[in-house]
C-alpha cells in the first residue's frame, strides 16, 4: 500500500487548452482497528505509519498511556480483491492487566477523514480525563521559534510536496532556553490522523508525556486536536489556521497554550500566553 497513487487528469485553462496527463494524489484507504480481538473502529487514512496511527488513536481514546501497555501491534490476515495482501486491518494485543475497551464506547460507524469525533458512542467518551497534567511543565518557547514552526513543518511535508492534499502534524521538542527542534512529523489526509500518528510515534518511543513539546499542525485547531494534545501531555498547540471556540474553551480549562494563525510575523494567542517568550 502506498501513500500516493497516480491517476489520469485533464487540465483545462481559460484559453480552452486541454492537456491530459497523470497526477499524483494522496492515498486514502479504510483501516479497521481491532483491540483484544474485538473490532473497535474504522477510520479513513493515508497508508503509512499505520502502527503509529493506531497507537496514537488508543492514547486519544484513553485506553493506553505508556508503551508497556501494548503487547503487540500487527497487521491482520486478509487479501485484496486482486489477491494481494491487505494492510487495512490492524490488531492490537494489550499487555496483561490492561483493561480492554468498554464495548459500549466502540465506534460503530466510519470515522471520516475530517472528523474523528463522529460516531463516538457517548459524549462522555469525548471528555475523558487525561493521565497527564500540563501545568507545571516548565515549557517556555521564544516567539521567533514559535513563528518559524509552521514553515519548518511545511519544509518537511514530503507527501504534500507531490500531492498538495494532506495535513501534517509535527512534534517540536523545546530546550530550556526556548529553542525548538523537530522530533517527529507525520502526514495524512485527516488532520486528526496526522496528530494520532505523531502521538503514536511518541508512545512507541516511550516519550509520553510530551511535557516539553509544541504540537504544530497544518490546518485549524479543532476541539478534538486540543483533546489529543491534552491526552498526550502536550502543553502547547499551534495551528496555521483558526481554532474553534470550543477548542479555546478546552485549552483554557486544561492549561494548554493555544495559538492560531501561526505564520508570518505574528500569531494569535488564545490561551496560555505565559509560555511564550517575547
Give the active site residue among 115, 118, 184, 254: 115
Q: Is 115 a catalytic residue?
A: yes
35/26 Cα distance (integer angstroms) = 27
Q: 219-249 burial by CB neighbour count: b if 16+ within 10 A, else e?
A: bbbbbbbbbbbbbbbbbbbbbbeebbeebbb
DSSP 48: S
**Backbone φ, ψ for residue 207 (5° rounding):** -110, 5
260/250 Cα distance (integer angstroms) = 14
3-state helix, strand, coil in the chain (%, to 5): 25, 35, 40
Distances from the Cα of 147 to the Cαs of 192, 256, 275, in angstroms?
A: 22, 18, 14
Residue 23, beta-bridge partner list: 7
- Cβ neighbours of residue 191 closer than 8 Å, sequence gap 6 or more: 114, 167, 169, 217, 218, 219, 220, 222, 225
Catalytic residue ranges: 115
Amino acid at each position: 500500500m502506498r501513500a500516493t497513487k497516480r491517476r489520469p487528469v485533464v487540465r483545462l485553462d481559460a484559453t480552452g487548452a486541454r492537456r491530459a496527463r497523470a497526477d499524483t494524489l494522496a492515498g486514502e484507504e479504510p483501516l479497521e482497528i481491532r483491540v483484544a480481538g474485538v473490532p473497535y473502529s474504522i477510520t479513513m487514512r493515508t497508508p503509512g505509519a499505520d502502527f503509529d496511527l493506531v497507537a496514537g488513536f488508543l492514547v486519544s481514546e484513553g485506553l493506553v498511556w505508556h508503551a508497556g501497555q501494548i503487547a503487540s501491534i500487527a497487521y491482520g490476515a486478509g487479501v485484496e480483491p486482486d489477491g494481494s495482501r491487505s494492510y487495512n486491518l490492524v490488531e492490537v494485543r494489550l499487555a496483561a492487566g490492561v483493561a480492554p475497551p468498554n464495548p459500549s464506547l466502540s465506534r460503530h460507524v466510519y470515522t471520516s477523514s475530517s472528523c474523528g469525533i463522529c460516531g463516538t458512542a457517548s459524549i462522555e467518551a469525548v471528555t475523558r480525563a487525561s493521565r497527564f497534567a500540563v501545568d507545571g511543565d516548565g515549557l517556555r518557547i521564544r516567539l521567533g521559534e514559535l513563528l518559524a514552526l509552521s514553515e519548518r513543518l511545511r519544509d518537511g511535508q514530503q507527501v504534500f510536496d507531490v500531492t498538495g492534499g494532506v495535513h501534517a502534524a509535527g512534534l517540536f521538542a523545546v530546550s530550556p532556553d526556548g529553542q525548538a527542534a523537530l522530533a517527529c512529523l507525520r502526514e495524512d489526509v485527516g488532520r486528526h490522523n496526522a496528530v494520532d500518528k505523531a502521538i503514536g510515534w511518541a508512545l512507541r518511543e516511550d516519550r509520553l508525556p510530551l511535557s516539553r513539546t509544541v504540537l504544530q499542525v497544518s490546518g485549524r485547531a479543532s476541539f478534538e486536536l486540543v483533546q489529543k494534545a491534552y491526552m498526550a501531555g502536550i502543553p502547547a498547540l499551534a495551528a496555521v489556521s483558526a481554532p474553534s471556540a470550543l477548542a479555546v474553551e478546552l485549552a483554557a480549562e486544561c492549561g494548554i497554550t493555544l495559538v492560531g494563525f501561526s505564520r508570518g510575523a505574528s500569531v494569535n494567542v488564545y490561551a496560555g500566553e505565559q509560555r511564550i517568550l517575547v
